[in-house]
Amino acid sequence: MSDIIDTWRRDHINFSRLLDLLEAQIGLYLEGQSPRYDLMLDILYYMTRYPDIFHHPKEDLASLRARELDPGAGVVVGELMRQHVVLRDSGAKLLEQLQGIVDGAMLKRESVKEPAGTYIAYFRGHMRKEESEIFPLLQTLLSEADWAAIEKAAPFEQDPLFGDGSLEKRYESLHRQIVRELENAGAT
């Protein structure tokens, strides 16, 4: 049980780093400077793949089991699942807009400001809610057998950016940027 929640917590730390990088690049774009479009696209590509395909579905399974065990958890579980849909859809929309800019679409800067701000703020709020409400609920309600069934239904997938295995080629530049950011943060 604690292994899965520990993995989710590590994921949240990593997602937060990526959201910080994305926010900084979006800020450059909105100020009329030259952001790293490749970096923004890689971040959003990752954020619309790994969390949406592996992280959130496993949380959904655990949350549905919690709701079975305690029908009173239905409201918070329903909200969590709705948030996962909003994150998936808004991330895909923002990725599409940024890809459009790279492909030559003439978009007003303001047309990116709201979706980017909403996605970043919403994702951060979502993680806070999971940390403060969902994870404690799951730790209280789910048994080791429940966790084993969840792991069997949605087996662990190696994180293509932060995992212990080999880094996927698509993420090499993003990984180098994250390492630079961490080194710069350590120097201050």
Per-residue confidence (pLDDT) for residue 110, from 0 to 100: 81
Domain ranges of the chain: 2-157
Q: What string of DSSP letters covers 95-143?
A: HHHHHHHHTT----THHHHHHHHHHHHHHHHHHHHIIIIIHHHHHHH--
Per-residue confidence (pLDDT) for residue 170, from 0 to 100: 79
Cα–Cα dist 129/135, whole Å: 9
One-letter identity of residue 58: K
CATH 3.30.460.80 fits 2-157, yes or no: no
Mean pLDDT, consecutive 10-residue segments, the chain of 188 residues? Answer: 85 94 93 90 91 86 94 91 90 90 82 89 95 94 94 85 76 81 63
Per-residue confidence (pLDDT) for residue 187, from 0 to 100: 55
Per-residue confidence (pLDDT) for residue 124, from 0 to 100: 97
